A and B are shown apart, each in its own frame.
Chain A
């Protein structure tokens, strides 16, 4: 025993000598390091933006088209895009996939920016534009673009990506909203394409005929939040309603256009022709709802075409524009995501160059990339005139559904609004209260307007459009 102890002591001493420190010193130093780590962790959030290196050789690019996701060609498009850049540039781009729900509804992107580790390049929809624009993390892409390229983008698509004439995001797609219907459900009810409704009243009347057994006649979004407001706006616009007045200082929400749009969605629920729920991921999911027979008519965007093409090939469907209220004007909401560069990242210049190289240059490969995304990987309208012409020439809009979106719905569309989250929350609460809780639409519009006004009184960011 004594020998063993002696041996252990000797080996400890040898180790200490070898390390050049005594045990006491080691403990003391360890304690200091632990204390420093604890203290620095307390103050870390206050110094986050000074910690990053001044330059980097790799740029991170966050998006939600994961490999082996719903549509393989979409993730491949991103991979090809990045591979094309990496083959010709010193500063490389590295793709990082964030699960769809975490990206859109979760906290991944927000916490990354809050901790000073936001991605160099990422994609955003107009719904999130103000959050990042007002946070000062979007790089002005204008200096990196040719005049010709700037004019190549449709103005109604760019409006919500610009602040004071500067471009902060380059859209990869335009996604107008429309109505999809099941041919089978129509035929079962003795209806045909000629019977597609042109007015709200006609839609409700038709929905009564189509509501049968386990199927609802129509389906609008019911989950509270940004997406629901996005799908509802065009019904309000059709009657001349709006969220914010043109000067951006007062709410325009309390208007007859708003009230009748709230009432229309409420009527669809009250009359039991629209569901309060949905199947699959949400009402954006046309395969899980329309193709599965849960509803006969569904309010979905153009992306429904590629979703059905990939996941319900044999399903017969048609598309028609959003029906109108009495005296209403045709309208649609032009959604879509855009590439943006992080102004507070280590290399915003290269990140901006990547965005422009990928989607906003007059080079043929840049235009072709937009074409490929809009008609091969997805089913979207192109945000660029040149790419739209090229995609049309390539037969990308030959199908009846794509043609309907490009020629009939898109020209009537308005860019997806960019609003502060507090404003769309007020709109969302008004929709929810009237649609699902039976509240008086007029009263909910008034309450929504008051909330928006009280927020606007203290708002000082980029204009809400």
Chain B
């Protein structure tokens, strides 16, 4: 009996609820541990080894990291990544917000328009890349035909180093803008209409309302969009598929993002250790960028600013 009493005292309601909560998140935690945390630790460890891809591991300390900073191809791919991120993140922000503002208007068939803008996002990236590859081809591609109709000479968009990265960027933005449109739309709908009504009564113009009401109150959404799109751009989560199918990193390495070069080193050159070191370096860059963003916004708590 005393044991039962002790047991009853221990299992208070709050403790039971805490246990239930832990049990609910346990499967996810185990999944994250096995499929994310442990592979991350392993990948970080691999960076200190020479791995031949056939079961051979040799500890080489920081040699992979030394090699990384002297590898012109890796440094070149980092530069391509920087250009890609600097174009993609603002491009996505402007297109996503622009579309959200557009489809917030009371225009006929608004549901259809919203679906159309979102539609590319539900299609497989490989399919998108294959379709665009045909659309962009020299001479007979749809894009060049349209351009030639309006007097602009066609180009080998994917075969010319001057245009290939731009083509990849445009396709990535076109693919993702619908997704960010939905996020901005939800942010816009949280802004009370009364603010706009009051501003209208005071004689404010559309641009003033946009800069004084919309943008400031959208800061939490903007922060989320900038953070997620930066992570996605640096890690190349969409670009990899597109580049793999459309350009294979070419022409002349002009679309060889860091993630693509890491893939090549791992799976084409069998340099798993070197690839892991470069991947770890990329993660550090991402962490620093994220920390800067959180520091600049005090952890995204905009109501305190």
Contacts and interface: CB of A to CB of B under 8 A. Distances in A.
Interface of A: 34, 37-38, 41-42, 45-46, 48-49, 105-107, 110-111, 113-114, 116, 131, 134-137, 213-216, 222-225, 275-279, 294, 344, 421-422, 425, 429, 432-433, 436-437, 439
Contacts of A425: 73, 264, 268-269
Contact of A277 (B73, B158, B253): B158
Contact of A42 (B42, B53, B136, B266): B42
B139 interface: yes
A31 to B, nearest CB: 11
Task: Give the 7 A-B residue pairs with the shortest CB-CB distance, closest first.
Answer: A276-B159, A276-B156, A135-B54, A436-B251, A224-B250, A437-B252, A107-B267
B137 A135 contact: no
A224 B248 contact: yes
A46 B51 CA distance: 11
A415 to B, nearest CB: 22
Nearest to B134: A279
B99 to A, nearest CB: 31
B127 interface: no
Interface stretch (B30-38, B189-197, B230-238): B30-38
Dominant SS at the B interface?
A: loop
B29 to A, nearest CB: 11
Contact of B267 (A38, A41, A42, A110): A110
Contacts of A277: 136-138, 156, 158-159
B251 A113 contact: no
Nearest to B255: A224
A41 B33 CA distance: 11
B17 interface: no
Nearest to B256: A224
Contacts of B250: 222-224, 432, 436
Contact of B53 (A105, A114, A216, A439): A114
A42 B138 CA distance: 49
Given A42-B42, A135-B53, A275-B138, A224 B160 contact: no
A135 B270 contact: yes
A421 B251 contact: no
B57 interface: yes
B160 A436 contact: yes
A116 B57 CA distance: 13
A223 B187 CA distance: 43
B251 A432 contact: yes
B38 A422 contact: no
Nearest to B245: A101
Contacts of A439: 252
A309 to B, nearest CB: 25
B251 A214 contact: no
Given A224-B253, A276-B160, A214 B52 contact: no
Given A275-B139, A422-B269, 13 more contacts: A38-B33, A38-B34, A38-B38, A42-B41, A216-B139, A222-B251, A223-B247, A275-B159, A279-B137, A344-B54, A436-B159, A436-B251, A439-B252
A422 B263 CA distance: 14
Contacts of A429: 73, 252-253
Contact of A437 (B41, B156, B161, B267): B161
A214 B159 contact: no
A269 to B, nearest CB: 8
B140 interface: yes
15 contacts: A107-B263, A107-B267, A113-B53, A114-B53, A131-B270, A135-B54, A214-B139, A223-B248, A224-B250, A277-B137, A425-B73, A425-B269, A433-B252, A436-B252, A437-B254
Interface string B149-178: 000000010111100000000000000000
Nearest to A115: B55
A214 B134 CA distance: 14
Contacts of A42: 38, 41-42
A110 B30 CA distance: 28
A131 B269 CA distance: 8
Interface residues of B, number: 41
A45 B254 CA distance: 35
Contacts of A105: 248
Contacts of B54: 113-114, 135-137, 344
Contacts of A294: 140
Contacts of A45: 42
Contacts of B251: 222, 224, 276, 432, 436-437
B164 to A, nearest CB: 9
B10 to A, nearest CB: 15
Contacts of B136: 277
Contacts of A276: 138, 156, 158-160, 251
B272 interface: yes
A291 to B, nearest CB: 15
A5 B49 CA distance: 58
In the complex, which of the residues A105, A114, A279, A294 has the most CB atoms of chain B within 10 Å of its own CB atom?
A114
In the complex, which of the residues B57, B136, B140 has the most CB atoms of chain A within 10 Å of its own CB atom?
B140
Interface in B8-65: 30, 33-34, 38, 41-42, 51-57
B96 interface: no
A37 B31 CA distance: 12
Contacts of B156: 275-277
Nearest to B161: A437
Contacts of A106: 267
Given A34-B30, A135-B54, A110 B159 contact: no
A116 B53 CA distance: 9
Contacts of B267: 106-107, 110-111
A461 B268 CA distance: 17
A436 B160 CA distance: 6
Contacts of B266: 107
Contacts of A279: 134, 137
In the complex, which of the residues A111, A131, A224 has the most CB atoms of chain B within 10 Å of its own CB atom?
A224
A37 B38 CA distance: 12
A111 B267 CA distance: 8
A213 B138 CA distance: 11
Contacts of A275: 138-139, 156, 159
Contacts of A436: 159-161, 250-252
Contacts of A225: 248
A434 to B, nearest CB: 9
A118 B54 CA distance: 9
Contacts of A214: 139-140
A297 to B, nearest CB: 16
B269 A41 contact: no
B217 to A, nearest CB: 45
A433 B76 CA distance: 13
Contact of A432 (B42, B138, B253, B269): B253
Contacts of B140: 214, 294
A107 B53 CA distance: 11
A429 B251 CA distance: 9
A285 B139 CA distance: 18
